[in-house]
């Protein structure tokens, strides 16, 4: 496995990511036009010029970012010829398949126009633009699932299984949860073998599962969901939380207490420092049950852990994982900046919304 070549290319690509100063410069731009002018001085130039021919303002930026994201990861997949590298990259790209299918299902469920759905898709995974466009053309949720099943695409399996439950309850969460569960189970199974690369990917996926589960648990505590019902929404494959811990947290009356318990270190399977930051969340945020603030902290934690992979063995999948997270974070940051510019959001508050890595 020639990780040297892949790693060198990834590090070359990493050097083109925007640094803190450039991000600060983007934040300080007074309006959308000057923001786009600044972005044209970066690696997004090509995509932005193309986007400006079709759209204007924030829509053009969104389009350019999406194109850049797709182009970047297709390029990574193309230069990674080895089977093992392609498997690892596919695991990370499949999440956008899941995301795209969820977007289409949500759109179909609330009868959004096809154009609006297409604008929200990121065709970077196994499902390319043509396949996604065909899925969007379907009249309803069932037709989308049927088409996936006809194409014999893996994501049809969990959707077909969960569809009767969705048909009964009308809760799209059932389908989304089934998709997530299938994605993580499938990915963890693919990297269940021995070796440092498999272990690294398992660690990253488990961390994601834990973060998703913590978010879900906090929501369930807020909405007072019964422990028995909770299992339907939780993912398997995490490391920090086991069934006993989940049951203990779910019976707590407030988010503050749940966050306090999740941040403690006494629990034997809990990483000693991993979720300690939950204890630092201001009391008024917890009292007001502002889950979005806690979710932002968890997201920050996930991105930082992912980007820290760059510090791992250079002749392994570590730098690839680091780059995925760094690029994802950069695009998220630019999207936040461009959205905030259109809404005249104060610069000081805007900085707090970004995740610097």
Partner 1 sequence: MVGWEVPIGAAIAFSFGAIGTGWAQSRIGAAGAGAIAEKPETAGTIIILEAIPETLVILGFVVASMIILMVK
Among 15, 150, 273, 292, binds partner 1 (CB under 8 A): 15
| Least CB distance to partner 1 at residue 67 (A) | 19
Angle at 193 between CA 192 and CA 195, to 5 degrees: 120
Angle at 254 between CA 248 and CA 260, to 5 degrees: 65
| One character per residue 211-250, x = contact with partner 1 (rule: CB under 8 A) | ----------------------------------------
| Least CB distance to partner 1 at residue 79 (A) | 8
Contact range with partner 1 by CB under 8 A, out of 3-11, 54-62, 88-96, 164-172? 3-11
Q: Which is nearer to partner 1, 13 or 147 (CB)?
A: 13
Verify binding: residue 11, partner 1, rule CB under 8 A: yes
Contact range with partner 1 by CB under 8 A, out of 6-14, 39-47, 113-121, 147-155? 6-14
Among 28, 37, 79, 264, binds partner 1 (CB under 8 A): 79
Contact criterion met (CB below 8 Å) for 320 and 310: no
Number of residues that bind partner 1 (CB under 8 A): 12
Dihedral angle sign, alpha carbons of residues 246, 248, 251, 257: negative
Contact criterion met (CB below 8 Å) for 80 and 151: no
Verify binding: residue 356, partner 1, rule CB under 8 A: no
3-class DSSP assignment, residue 41: coil
Verify binding: residue 2, partner 1, rule CB under 8 A: yes
Verify binding: residue 5, partner 1, rule CB under 8 A: yes
Contact criterion met (CB below 8 Å) for 285 and 224: no
Distances (CA, A) of 63 to 70, 273, 336: 11, 39, 14
Verify binding: residue 4, partner 1, rule CB under 8 A: yes
DSSP states along 108-123: HHTT--HHHHHHT---
| Contact positions vs partner 1 (CB under 8 A) | 2, 4-9, 11-13, 15, 79
């Amino acid at each position: 496995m020639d990780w040297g070549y892949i790693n060198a290319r990834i590090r070359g690509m990493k050097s083109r990511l925007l640094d803190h100063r450039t991000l600060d410069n983007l934040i300080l731009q007074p309006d959308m036009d000057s923001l786009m002018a600044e972005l044209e001085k970066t690696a997004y130039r090509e995509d932005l010029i193309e986007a400006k021919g079709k759209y204007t303002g924030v829509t053009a930026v969104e389009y350019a970012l999406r194109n850049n994201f797709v182009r970047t990861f297709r390029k990574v997949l193309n230069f990674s010829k080895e089977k093992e590298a392609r498997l690892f990259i596919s695991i990370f790209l499949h999440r956008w398949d899941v995301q795209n299918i969820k977007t289409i299902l949500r759109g179909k469920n609330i009868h959004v126009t096809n154009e609006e759905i297409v604008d929200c898709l990121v065709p970077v995974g196994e499902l390319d633009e043509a396949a996604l466009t065909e899925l969007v053309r379907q009249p309803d949720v069932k037709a989308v699932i049927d088409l996936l099943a006809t194409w014999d695409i893996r994501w049809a399996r969990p959707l077909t299984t969960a569809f009767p439950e969705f048909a009964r309850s009308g809760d799209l969460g059932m389908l989304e949860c089934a998709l997530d569960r299938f994605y993580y189970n499938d990915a963890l199974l693919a990297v269940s073998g021995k070796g440092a690369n498999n272990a690294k990917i398992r660690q990253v996926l488990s961390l994601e599962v834990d973060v998703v589960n913590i978010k879900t648990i906090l929501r369930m505590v807020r909405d007072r969901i019964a422990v028995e019902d909770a299992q339907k929404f939780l993912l398997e494959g995490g490391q920090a939380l086991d069934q006993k811990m989940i049951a203990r947290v779910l019976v707590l009356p407030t988010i503050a207490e749940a966050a306090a318990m999740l941040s403690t270190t006494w629990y034997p399977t809990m990483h000693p420092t991993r979720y300690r930051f939950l204890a630092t969340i201001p009391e008024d945020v917890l009292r007001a049950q502002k889950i979005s603030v806690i979710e932002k902290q968890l997201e920050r934690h996930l991105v930082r852990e992912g980007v820290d992979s760059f510090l791992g063995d250079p002749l392994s999948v570590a730098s690839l994982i680091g780059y995925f997270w760094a690029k994802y974070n950069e695009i998220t940051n630019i999207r936040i900046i461009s959205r905030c510019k259109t809404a005249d959001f104060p610069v000081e508050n805007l900085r707090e919304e970004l995740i610097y890595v």
